[in-house]
Amino acid sequence: MSNPVTRSDLPGLLLTVREVAVVLRVSPRQIWKLNSIARLPAPVRLSRSVRWRASDITEFVRLGCPSRDRFEAEIARAAK
């Protein structure tokens, strides 16, 4: 008999606004503001839900929190 998978067993692949706020140590309101002025990686939309890829947030911080345009350019450059 297999054990059920719990939320704590799964990696945080997609982060909520609150989880991103905790990672960046700002308020959820600040996350929405940063997103609206393209200062965060683009979020993923799942119906009406908005999430950010954990890998994007990690890379965003590693690159020094660049603008969305610079972040996407760096990701594209690294993919080549």
For residue 59, what is the domain's CATH number? Answer: 1.10.1660
Residue 8 located in a structural domain: no
Residue 6 lies in a domain: no
Share of residues in the chain with pLDDT > 90 (%): 82
Residue 68 lies in a domain: yes
- Asked if pLDDT for residue 12 goes beyond 80, the answer is no
Spacing of C-alpha 61 from chain mean position: 10
Starting from the edge strand earliest in sequence, which strands make up the sheet with 49-53, in order?
14-15, 49-53, 44-46
Split into its structural domains, the chain has a count of 1
DSSP structural state of residue 43: P
Is 2 within a domain? no
Over residues 54-73, the mean pLDDT reads 96
Write out the residue range of the structural domain in which residue 73 sits: 13-79
pTM for the model stands at 0.82
Where is pLDDT greater, at 41 or 12? 41
The answer to whether position 4 is within a domain reads: no
Domain annotation covers residue 7: no
Residue 5 — pLDDT band, cuts 50, 70, 90? very low
Question: Which token pair is 29?
Answer: 């309101």
| Residue at 1 is within a domain | no
